[in-house]
Amino acid sequence: MLKQLSIRDFTLIAESNISFGPGFTAITGETGAGKSVLLKAIRLISGEKSTASMVRAQTEKATIEATFDISKNDPLKKILDSLEIDHDDELIIQREITESGKSRARVNGSVINLNDLQTLGESLVQMHGQSEQILLRDVRTHGQMLDDFCSNQPLLEKYTSLFSEWNQKKAQMEALKERAQNLAAQKDFLKFQFEELSKAHLKAGEEEELESLTSQASKGETERRFLEDMNRILESENGLRDQLRSFSAKMKQLALKIPRYGESLVLFQEVLDPLESFLKDFSSISPATEVSPAELDKANARLALIQKLKRKYRTDIDGLIALTNTRKEELESLDNLDADLENISNQIEKIESELNTVAQELSEKRMAGATKLDTSVESILHELGMPGARFKTSILKTTLHATGFDKVEFMLAPNTGEGEKSLQKAVSGGELSRVLLAFKSVMAELDTTPLLIFDEVDSGISGEIGNQIGAALQKLGKHHQVLTITHLHQVASRAEGQLAVKKEEIDKRTYTHIFNLDYNSRILELSRMLGDEKSKTVQEHAKQLLEVHL
């Protein structure tokens, strides 16, 4: 609970130190006195964003410090432990706002960021005002409120986990279907490419081997052609060998007839003998490398195929081999997609069955809880000056969504003889305020937030209804610390404590002051609210109101 609030140089408040007690405290004052400034200060302590305009004119910074008793707030202590903030049974939150608009927050002396401060604030304070009434008109919040009443959080967490998994699997299935469609549209093309490439039986380094083979074949052909030509010169009719033999015979005949040529014959014979030996050996020479025409034709055809595929697919042989493997994998993937789709479809069906089971459990708990909620809210509405009101929770079954298959909507018939209508329609602000208060009263024992703040929950209400609203807030104060801004004496007189907010001008500057009222001061403030704080009769009436309700 909030024990102390110190405010300095915050908008119209120069300095104020306010003490708070347990139960229900009313905040009163003339319109425009600055009651909303007090609530704004508490909102800032709870993590709301700040602006430079919040700093009082002609000052450097605004400071707000709140002291809370957290002796019974175990959830908050766990948050403090997770943030590594030292604590005992007291929590001090300080917020500073500079004239430039920057702010800094400390919790028990430790600097804390705004997100963490908001997390702490949610465990300390709940604000209920016009914005909360607007939320009541939003059908999307009705299911959450019913689930809170039914304590459905553990079941909802289980459902949310399954729902998330269900959606993930459905997204995977859609992605698989899209991939299957894309691959199926290309199947013939992929199959053609794979068959064309796989039939080629390409191997790494093959092209170089074939080119080496054809190069050797080309050299062998040149060698063979030259050898044949040279042997033809030697061995053909009247060739070099015959010419040499004829030349030798003529030389011998000449030497016999003319002896002086004998010496030349000897010299010629010396040359002829090794030449004959060379010619004999040369005639037996054959090409060193023999590549058969069939083998060469096969190699050339193979090279032509490789060149054709390289031009077609615009890559080298390694790229062609990689493309073959890719096409094979894509075709195998396409063949496996049907099995994958069937598998994920079975998973979705299983999760959906579990979802429906949990959704049915949620629906049954909501139906049972709605009956109790309707009775409780309707009973309090009758006490709050709506004796003919009928409240009903409509639960319709729809398709599976984020919180089950129920569509929850609160319906209200404010007066006898009227049909039930959604809170979205035909419900006045005053009626909506009472519905909100009725909800909070019903939820009081379930709600663990220690401090509830109502901003003019009695707006548009007067007379005996104000009395009933005061009684409801007083009852709510048995379970929570409750702060309420009110303009009704019927409400304020029910409070255990009362704060008065007053505005005055001093030396041409405006100041807002906040006072903790004692018994006598409360009589004067209630008299003002009754219309005449100086009248003894009115003061006596105010005194009677306090004595009756305290």
Q: Are 468 and 384 in contact (CB under 8 A)?
A: yes
Q: How far is CA 413 from the centre of its chain?
A: 41
Say how far apart CA 145 and CA 58 lie, in whole Å. Answer: 46
> How high is the pLDDT of residue 395?
95
Which pLDDT score, from 0 to 100, does residue 132 have? 60
pLDDT of residue 145: 87
Q: What is the pLDDT of residues 246-301, one digit of tens each?
A: 888 888 898 888 888 888 888 888 888 888 777 777 766 666 566 667 777 787 78
pLDDT of amino acid 291: 61
Confidence (pLDDT) at 179 = 79
Q: Which residues, including other chains, have CB under 8 Å from residue 100's CB and lie 6 or more apart? A: 52
pLDDT, position 136: 74
In angstroms, how far is the first alpha carbon of the chain from the final one? Answer: 21
Which residue's structure tokens are 């202590």?
A: 77
Residue with tokens 């080309």, as numbered in its chain: 218
Place of tokens 């008793």: 69
Structure tokens at 301: 């055809």
Architecture of domain 1-135+447-517: 3-Layer(aba) Sandwich (3.40)
List of the chain residues with pLDDT < 50: none
Per-residue confidence (pLDDT) for residue 385, from 0 to 100 = 78
| Amino acid 131: pLDDT | 57
Which residues make Cβ contacts (< 8 Å) with residue 478, sequence separation at least 6? 23, 444
Phi-psi region of 417 (alpha: psi -120 to 50; beta: other; left: phi over 0): left
pTM of the model as a whole: 0.62
Backbone angles phi, psi at 476, to 5 degrees: -65, -30
- Tally of residues, the chain: 550
Distance, CA of 417 to CA of 438 (rounded, Å): 21
Rounded distance between C-alpha atoms, residue 428 and residue 280, angstroms: 130
